[in-house]
Amino acid sequence: MAAGELEIQAAVARSSAEPFVTEKLYLKAPAANEIRVKIVATSVCHTDLMTKGEALCEFPIVLGHEGAGVVDALGDEVTEFDVGDHVVLSYDYCGRCRQCKNHKPSYCDNHGSLNFAGTRANGDKTHRSPDSDAADVFGSFFQQSSFATYALSNTSNTIKVDKSLPLPLLAPLGCGVQTGAGTVLNTLQVQPDTSIVVFGCGCVGLSAIMAAKVAGAKNIVAVDVNPARLQMALDLGASHALAPGDFAEPGSIVEHVKSISQGNGCQYAIDTTGAPSILRQAFDCCGPLGVTAMIAPGVPGTEVSIEMLGLLPGKSLRGVIQGDSVSKTFIPKLIELWQDGRFPFDRMLTKFASIDSIEDVAQAMGRGEVIKPVVILDPEFD
């Protein structure tokens, strides 16, 4: 190993078709502004699987962007963290562009390169195979690559949490949970006694449903094809659960949702599926001045058709990244809501043991068997 490198175990994706395979790699030492984190647990997000499956990245790569762990080492310029701190990792941002300065870091000018390029901001790779003299594995996914026993993060995407909290439970807060909850509480700013419909009841959709209950929405309509997820939606706060298969025509479900909201349409709609036809249904469910949030954009090139006349009643379609969340303040807010018993996101979680299980997790997610899988890398924290 070169000076400063650390031997790690990582679940490596070598192509879109090949399974995740655990391999020994070498991880570079932290740069001046970086933090090395011993990963205790990482949850798996559909973004990880879509990035791999649709080849939206360079290969080979270490994915993973919902890590939680313990600070192991610090770069020379890091002052706000100490070795031994417990942390949750989230998305990264530059902190310098107009959006970042206006407290909208999820829309950072450099969001794509910082979170999806597979390198540090300066283009350097951080991971090396044992049989290579140069860094030859892409990492730095969301500036963490948490499908590994250790990860490098930046101060900007690292959130300190109380050491008394269960780290494995907190991992999903870094992306999926904050995206769903943030869309309701930050983007839409859902008001009491209103109506909202959520299409897709995975982690993001269910997080939105829990947040809508926190916000005091009167009618919270969940739509999904999976009966178990619809039941979970009801358990977590939905007032109605609808299965598209129970309606003869696609338009019938729209009219039914409108009838639930006193016939005039919902004030808010969320689509988490990334399917253009479903996004159109979500939009059509809204009444005058209604806002539809698109969380999952689909693969590049995907288009959606909206009738121009449908926009005239002041309706709008809004794309959302990370629920407009500033992670350093929003994740602690979600933890407080959980501690108060008002945001029971832990009920969605399914635990898997060891990094070797990540391919099994991917297969289980593809079959719709789990909502939010959490992989435990350090059993001492389970």
Tell me the β-bridge partners of 268: 196, 291
How do residues 292-304 score in pLDDT, each as one tens digit?
999 988 888 899 9
pLDDT band for position 212 (cuts 50, 70, 90):
very high
Percentage of the chain with pLDDT > 70?
100
Cα 84 to the chain's mean position, in Å? 25
Dig out the tokens for 247 from the structure. 């309606």
How do residues 53-76 score in pLDDT, each as one tens digit?
999 999 999 999 999 999 999 999
Do domains 6-174+344-381 and 180-321 share one topology? The answer is: no
The pLDDT value recorded for residue 209 is: 98
Q: How far apart (Å, rounded) are the C-alpha atoms in residues 360 and 367?
A: 11
- The helix/strand/coil state of 42 is strand
Range scoring the smallest mean pLDDT among 84-93, 168-177, 301-310: 301-310
The radius of gyration computed from the CA coordinates of the chain, to the nearest angstrom, equals 21
Q: How far apart (Å, rounded) are the C-alpha atoms in residues 41 and 169?
A: 8
Those residues with Cβ within 8 angstroms of residue 252's Cβ, 6 or more apart along the chain or in another chain:
none
What architecture (CATH level 2) is domain 180-321?
3-Layer(aba) Sandwich (3.40)
> Does residue 279 carry a pLDDT above 80?
yes
What architecture (CATH level 2) is domain 6-174+344-381?
Alpha-Beta Complex (3.90)
Domain range list for the chain? 6-174+344-381, 180-321
